[in-house]
Structure 1
Amino acid sequence: MSIERWVFGYGSLMWRPGFAFVERQEATLPGRRRAFCIYSVHHRGTYERPGLVLGLAPGGAVRGAAYRVAEADWDEAYAYLREREQPTETYIEARAAIRLADGRRIETLVFLSDVRHPQWAGALSPERQADLIAGATGLSGRNVDYLRDLVVHLRQQGVRDVAMERLLGLVETRELAAG
């Protein structure tokens, strides 16, 4: 009997998983919410000019995507995820119960924000988030592109995240003003 291996994504894993999977479903993780709460010094910023990336902050519920990975592909997918998600160990790997769009409840690998890590930004005002995101660039590109990709992807899934859309407007205003 094979073990089912699932991965939950709430940010760029939703539109760019980067690993082989046999099933993808929209899913909801209770008890956590999507937030720009991690200072990015690798993917979307630098130590000199940090940006912000998403994390799972305590509270609420978050819609994302769950991927079922074949047992034969698990080791490769897991190694890829460790390299992608943990360059500075800002997340805690955990197992969490989620609800799939088809009603099934499953256990999945999820990367939770480590609130004790030095890169934990916590609850920043939208204005402070916009200040950090605007103009920040890291190894994976411009920080604003990450935010824009999130908003576009959520809209494609029929999700209107008013807070993320407002944040994108604040960032775009700052970037236009900067020239």
Structure 2
Amino acid sequence: MSDEQRRTSLDTFMKSRPAGDLWIFAYGSLIWNPALRISERRVAEIHGWHQSFCLSMSVGRGTPGQPGLVLGLDRGGVCKGVAYRIDERDVSSELPILWSREMLVGGYNPIWTDLIGDGGEKFGAAIIFTIDQGHDNYAGGISLQEKVRRLAIAEGSWGSSADYLFRTIGSLREHGIHDVEIEHLGVMVASAAFEAFGEAA
């Protein structure tokens, strides 16, 4: 997206903002590298979406010849992550930064959703970045074997897809979140990476 397209996207999106504090829900790199001015953070759940390595990346975490993968929110299930509250005085400065980052490559649809606290209570509405299943970069249909292979070997200017995976696992753990599926994926990727690079290293 161009700068103008991102500005238009953000302006249009904010017209549907619910009443109350503004929250952002983090489930991947926003946990370990938010790069935003944050007033409060809380562990939270969202319902109706689950995190999945379903966004193909030919830049940043991969190359055109060897695309990598990063997380997106795909339909169905529950996702546990970290909610960040942005102070009202910082909304106008921080959201353009967020949009420049999350809407750079394309593939995400931002929407509002309820945040659920540890006690099952709703405590706010957050921006979440869901995967666009109609986008060319959507990779939700690839096999587990191909997913592991890409995560194990793909690397781009921002680092490797494996690093993205392992940083996410570590950051989730730091917040007391143990995602069984992603941690199992981490074990498989570590094994595949060792087979690919271990002897050469």
- Alignment TM-score > 0.5, same fold: yes
Q: Check the 8 A contact 1:33/1:61 in 2, yes or no.
A: yes
**Unpaired runs of at least 5, structure 1:** none
Task: Determine the structure 1 residue equivalent to 2:63.
Answer: 46
**Aligned equivalents of 2:94, 2:58: Cα separation in 1:** 24
- 1:10 paired to 2:52: no
Task: Determine the structure 1 residue equivalent to 2:37.
Answer: 20
- 1:145 paired to 2:163: yes
Task: Determine the structure 2 residue equivalent to 1:173.
Answer: 191
Deviations 1:71-103 (A, max 9, x none): 221122111111111112210111111213463
Number of residues of Structure 1 aligned to a counterpart in Structure 2: 178
**Aligned equivalents of 2:44, 2:20: Cα separation in 1:** 19
**Aligned equivalents of 2:179, 2:78: Cα separation in 1:** 13
Is 32-41 or 94-103 further displaced after alignment? 94-103
Instruction: State the AA in 1 paired with 2:165.
Output: L
Is 42-51 or 28-37 further displaced after alignment? 42-51
Q: Check the 8 A contact 1:20/1:73 in 2, yes or no.
A: yes
Instruction: State the AA in 2 paired with 1:6.
Output: W
Mapping for residues 21-170 of structure 1, pairs under 5 Å: 21-101=38-118, 103-170=121-188
Q: Check the 8 A contact 1:100/1:106 in 2, yes or no.
A: no
Q: Check the 8 A contact 1:42/1:87 in 2, yes or no.
A: no
Is 106-115 or 164-173 further displaced after alignment? 164-173
Q: If each structure's helix is expressed as a fraction of its own residues, which one has the higher value? A: 2
Larger Rg: 2
**Unpaired runs of at least 5, structure 2:** 1-18
TM-score (norm 2): 0.82
Shift of 1:174: 1.9
**Aligned equivalents of 1:47, 1:19: Cα separation in 2:** 30
Shift of 1:3: 5.0
Percent identity for Structure 1 against Structure 2: 33
Q: Check the 8 A contact 1:127/1:170 in 2, yes or no.
A: no
Q: Check the 8 A contact 2:107/2:137 in 1, yes or no.
A: yes
TM-score (norm 1): 0.92
Q: Check the 8 A contact 1:66/1:100 in 2, yes or no.
A: no
